[in-house]
């Protein structure tokens, strides 16, 4: 799944490179290039043949890759609209557990069993998207995607693959960027996902707050992960 309007961009180059790298590792790859598809991002009513096609791709997937440039601390509107339309009620969320009658979410849901990797290009310097960076750590910046979308629907979210200073990558440095991405994709089936806490009585009380004794001394996003 990719979203960049400039066919000559680093992001589009790495999308094509990543597809080749996955093929080389034996993956069967089904692509959705949203700009090339002229995807309609506006949710007017549920369903539609285009939505059903994308849902079949997700249903068949073991690994879901979302590749996009970081725009205003999030994904482009066309990709957000893809999620709005494709992650429908009863397909990705509000999938009911027949044993409890409750909706499956946060570690469970309609897309459980799939791994999800975000590949993100950003113009800023590496430190700005680190733990002490002015923009915030990339995992916190992408919290709505990693935790609120991928983990919420049951997918195992992997740590983002971030490429910084995207505008400065040139013929002399592209090889290193490609090598890092190829190395990441080579082990993507085996790497440890982000350790988000599941929605379970062991961790959360009825108002869906962390139970006393869980993640002591931590607040914010960090409190909702297993402490190692």
Contact 114, 153 (CB under 8 A): no
Q: 65 forms bridges with which residues in the sheet? A: 117
Q: Cα separation of 210 and 206, whole Å?
A: 9
Condensed to tens digits (0 to 9), the pLDDT of residues 31-71 reads 999 999 999 999 999 999 999 999 999 999 999 999 999 99
- Select from 109, 5, 91, 105 the least CA-distant residue to 48: 91
* Residue 106 tokens, joined: 């946060």
Dist. CA 147–CA 10, nearest whole Å: 27
Q: What is the pTM of this model?
A: 0.95
What is the C-alpha separation between 11 and 211, in angstroms, rounded?
A: 41
Binned at pLDDT 50, 70 and 90, residue 227 comes out as confident
d(C-alpha 180, C-alpha 75), whole Å: 22
């Amino acid at each position: 799944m990719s979203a960049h309007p400039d066919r000559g961009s680093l992001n589009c180059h790495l999308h094509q490179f990543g597809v080749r790298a996955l093929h080389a590792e034996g993956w069967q790859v089904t692509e959705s290039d949203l700009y090339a598809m002229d995807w309609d991002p506006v949710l007017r009513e549920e369903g539609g043949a285009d939505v059903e096609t994308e849902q079949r791709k997700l249903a068949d997937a073991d690994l879901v890759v979302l590749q996009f440039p970081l725009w205003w601390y999030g994904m482009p509107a066309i990709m957000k609209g893809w999620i709005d339309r494709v992650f429908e009620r009863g397909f990705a969320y509000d999938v009911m557990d027949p044993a409890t009658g409750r909706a499956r979410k946060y570690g469970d849901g309609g897309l459980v069993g799939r791994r999800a990797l975000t590949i993100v290009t950003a113009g800023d310097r590496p430190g700005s998207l680190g733990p002490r960076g002015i923009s915030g750590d990339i995992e916190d910046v992408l919290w709505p995607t990693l935790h609120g979308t991928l983990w919420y629907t049951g997918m195992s979210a992997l740590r983002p693959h971030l490429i910084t200073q995207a505008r400065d990558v040139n013929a002399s440095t592209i090889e290193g960027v490609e090598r890092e991405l190829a190395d990441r994709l080579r082990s993507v089936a085996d790497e440890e996902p982000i350790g988000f806490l599941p929605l379970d009585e062991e961790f959360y009380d009825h108002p869906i707050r962390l139970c006393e004794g869980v993640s002591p001394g931590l607040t914010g996003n960090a409190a909702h992960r297993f402490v190692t």
